[in-house]
Structure 1
């Protein structure tokens, strides 16, 4: 099947029209909707029964263990329910039945949070000495030693059982801005069609937008850019109110939990110092000249008097254009990642053959890409493969997440299997770094090498500079909300546009439409998430460089990292591979790699 970048051929099918061979198989979660519904009803009863354990944790070591293990058992089943409902919904967000499933799971999450809200406060009613004695007296309790210690570390931010119960009940309301944005963006938002290179009227969607921006025809790029943001302009006040509500809920929970800011609250879960966030911004600002140099080179190579935001994604090569079938992409990814060992490649094969991946876009399918699963299922990948180089990298990226989960789930108990956000992007971007090195090494033509260098630099720009730009916007917009108490669409857009200008520099025209880019970024509804793309990419560059250099033992150390889950702090997990993110070197070294590739591209394109 070839679903390349010829936009005229893209027709969004309904979900039931899709070839099952290219759709994920959710049976490792539940064999049927009926099994899901039965399990959901059984779990609802167990959650209610769990409430009776309140007040028992101080009675004995076994009583403490019974509460913690009981909560694990419930959470483990709930995870499978939540993932199944969400992924059924995401494959067609217009499906009313699965909208209902997803809504029920959000409600159940709030009920579970309420029913278990006594756990942390009751742990803190115990002193550390008593817990130590409990662990000595009852060996099974030692499984929870790290969790218990983490609770004591965060003691000042955990409230009374009554207050925790109130916050748990507020959690469902707090998720409303994200739900509203997601439903609007994926199910309700409609764009005007774009006239492509052959004068065909082609649907514009989240999935086709970047493809249009990669068109060699500048008129197509400009039309798609303007029509895409025109729809956000129509709804900017609603989106500003929704985004503002999300800022307020983050600030509310941070304040109630006695954190100095929503940023500090977000980072504390992984025990990440706020200084790591601030140092990232400082490092990027210090290396802005490399970004400006690349923007200037892009302007020169495109041969335009003015470089606009709709010129950011088009390839700089005039004649070289590569497209891939899904099957070709699989083979390239496997070859590129063979350096990680036969066991790693065997797991990739397993994932591809057992339909872990939902490959192509269909009507109503959630935009973007992700890897997700539960402890008792294999991982799943959602994407919208469209045949370009970006799709190949997306496949490598998301399978990096999936194998990270696989190693962790098969090494750690459920309690410690889920890795923290700070390290979540390392495995995925390490795969990307290995893939680009493989492709560059095997490039036979000058135009192919220029194409790949351009792609790598664009990926770097998108993952490090762009995500850091997002991170700076988040920091400043949260601060602005804290100072002013309310925000308008125009006020948010003004701040975003000013930051965009600062990051792209004097050779870029920051078109007025780009001021609305904040309105379409789903990650902003998970506050202070995106900076981890930049830190993760930097760590991945360091690790992949060690792997390709053949550093003794690094592949084994890397798999130890992949297997770590949350059994250690994220900073310490990366230190297994010799990468210390509390220091500036990983980010600085990554930025130096970016500058070196800009220089190489300048040399390759300098010839007449």
Structure 2
């Protein structure tokens, strides 16, 4: 395909996200049609593949005596079925906020209707300030100050104690990761490149690392580790606290708008989008449980209907997006994606309470970090002040989305 200057450049799925963020709408559209056009040519094969996975999931669920695939998937972590339905219902109730955000995108980008390839281009200019690693450490520490001295002392130990492999190097894998072995302190892999996103990644991975650190310090080996349901809560709480700090300390209108939009995009992609995925999963597993064999057209129609409901009247849902379900690998791990949305909602509720209630909430949060697998995930979160069987955490998250959207609208129209 051709880039913004008309030069022929290679196209791949790996580069798709970069093309979708281009300021040139023609580049975004070309990338979008290239990718989904290719998937569309294999729609029947991809449909057969997903159907096979659905039937396999149903076989094992029934063989083990479960009433549904959803019940089977949630059983391992003792998650009540009501958590899943509460998430979907809570997000459905506030789709008007996402519709409003899509409408704002159209106004700022001066496009109508908004096409699906318009959803990822930044509304605000990228934050281009270079941030040396030493400055990033201070930014993260300042953002996490509300967690108290015990947490900060452990954070400082991680920063200065050789836990972190910071920079790119020959033969080193990409991305970022945190891991460890009981009872040794955790290790963090980064590929720090002086960007604001690297600062958020540092906060995120240290959230994982300190979750493991506090759990391993307090629990015997049998209760070390964490349920998948809460694995991302500590890391996302760190990001939320850092983001709140950066919004409040922004030195210019443009900088504040950047961080506000950053929060909106996090919630759009992690809560709204993943809940839409969760709805799709619930529907297609239900079809299989009723003895149906969904065709490619059935999958595509369901995906189209969900996109229309979620993105609202300001968005045009075209034929290309109908095949997007086929490129979501998580659908081969039944009922996994909902945990992104619940984890983000739990982290938002925790960070809000820490910021608003201070030491009392921070002390509860530290106890949460220490619990590991000593109790069911739902109970561990409830003791920290977050009841995921209620609509409260999702409402808190979407209220924050609404307040952030309102402020961004005001700043954009100044």
Q: TM-score, normalised by structure 2?
A: 0.89
Structure 1 residue 345 and structure 2 residue 124: aligned? no
Are residues 269 and 320 of structure 1, via their aligned partners in 2, closer, same or farther at CA, if it must alter by over 3 Å?
A: closer
Residue in structure 2 matched with residue 590 of structure 1 by the alignment: 397
SS in 2 for 1:549: helix
Residues 360 and 385 of structure 1 are in contact (CA less than 8 Å); yes or no, is this contact kept in structure 2?
no
Residues 357 and 380 of structure 1 are in contact (CA less than 8 Å); yes or no, is this contact kept in structure 2?
no
Q: Which range is displaced more, 450-459 or 411-420?
A: 411-420
Shift of 1:524: 2.0
Q: Deviations over 1:514-568 (max 9, x none)?
A: 2222222232222112112212212111111122225233223212111211101
Alignment of 1:311-390 (within 5 A): 311-317=118-124, 319=125, 321-322=127-128, 324=130, 327=133, 329=136, 331-340=138-147, 341-349=151-159, 353-356=162-165, 371-375=178-182, 379=186, 389-390=196-197
Alignment of 1:94-109 (within 5 A): none
Alpha-carbon distance in structure 2 between the residues aligned to 1:307 and 1:360:
41
Alpha-carbon distance in structure 2 between the residues aligned to 1:457 and 1:310:
17
Structure 1 residue 213 and structure 2 residue 23: aligned? no
Residues 361 and 385 of structure 1 are in contact (CA less than 8 Å); yes or no, is this contact kept in structure 2?
no
Are residues 561 and 245 of structure 1, via their aligned partners in 2, closer, same or farther at CA, if it must alter by over 3 Å?
A: same
Alpha-carbon distance in structure 2 between the residues aligned to 1:386 and 1:273:
42
Alpha-carbon distance in structure 2 between the residues aligned to 1:313 and 1:558:
33
Residue in structure 1 matched with residue 312 of structure 2 by the alignment: 505
- Relative contact order (C-alpha < 8 Å, sep 6+): which is higher? 2
Shift of 1:597: 1.1
Residues 218 and 370 of structure 2 are in contact (CA less than 8 Å); yes or no, is this contact kept in structure 1?
yes
Alpha-carbon distance in structure 2 between the residues aligned to 1:380 and 1:326:
21
Unpaired stretches in structure 2, ≥5 consecutive residues: none
Residue in structure 2 matched with residue 396 of structure 1 by the alignment: 203
Q: Deviations over 1:314-354 (max 9, x none)?
A: 1112x554254673655533432243332242254158x44
Residue in structure 1 matched with residue 116 of structure 2 by the alignment: 309
Q: Which of these residues, 105, 111, 114, is aligned with residue 298 of structure 1?
A: 105
Alpha-carbon distance in structure 1 between the residues aligned to 2:186 and 2:215:
11
Shift of 1:433: 0.9
Residues 163 and 187 of structure 2 are in contact (CA less than 8 Å); yes or no, is this contact kept in structure 1?
no
Q: Deviations over 1:134-175 (max 9, x none)?
A: xxxxxxxxxxxxxxxxxxxxxxxxxxxxxxxxxxxxxxxxxx
Residue in structure 1 matched with residue 296 of structure 2 by the alignment: 489
Residues 126 and 258 of structure 2 are in contact (CA less than 8 Å); yes or no, is this contact kept in structure 1?
yes
Structure 1 residue 572 and structure 2 residue 379: aligned? yes
Q: Which of these residues, 424, 430, 438, is aligned with residue 231 of structure 2?
A: 424
Structure 1 residue 242 and structure 2 residue 52: aligned? no
Shift of 1:474: 0.8
Shift of 1:247: 1.7
Alpha-carbon distance in structure 1 between the residues aligned to 2:14 and 2:142:
27
Residues 364 and 385 of structure 2 are in contact (CA less than 8 Å); yes or no, is this contact kept in structure 1?
no
Q: Which range is displaced more, 229-238 or 475-484?
A: 229-238
Residues 496 and 518 of structure 1 are in contact (CA less than 8 Å); yes or no, is this contact kept in structure 2?
yes
Alignment of 1:535-574 (within 5 A): 535-574=342-381
Residues 350 and 386 of structure 2 are in contact (CA less than 8 Å); yes or no, is this contact kept in structure 1?
yes
Alpha-carbon distance in structure 1 between the residues aligned to 2:310 and 2:95:
7
Shift of 1:312: 0.9
Structure 1 residue 285 and structure 2 residue 96: aligned? no
Are residues 346 and 279 of structure 1, via their aligned partners in 2, closer, same or farther at CA, if it must alter by over 3 Å?
A: same
Q: Which range is displaced more, 438-447 or 209-218?
A: 209-218
Q: Which range is displaced more, 374-383 or 297-306?
A: 374-383
Shift of 1:307: 0.7
Shift of 1:240: 2.7
Are residues 345 and 441 of structure 1, via their aligned partners in 2, closer, same or farther at CA, if it must alter by over 3 Å?
A: same
Q: TM-score, normalised by structure 1?
A: 0.62
Aligned pairs, how many? 410
Alpha-carbon distance in structure 2 between the residues aligned to 1:338 and 1:252:
50
Q: Deviations over 1:343-376 (max 9, x none)?
A: 242254158x44456869999x78x765445446
Residues 337 and 434 of structure 1 are in contact (CA less than 8 Å); yes or no, is this contact kept in structure 2?
yes
Unpaired stretches in structure 1, ≥5 consecutive residues: 1-193
SS in 1 for 2:359: coil
Q: Which of these residues, 304, 318, 324, is aligned with residue 517 of structure 1?
A: 324
Residues 215 and 224 of structure 2 are in contact (CA less than 8 Å); yes or no, is this contact kept in structure 1?
yes
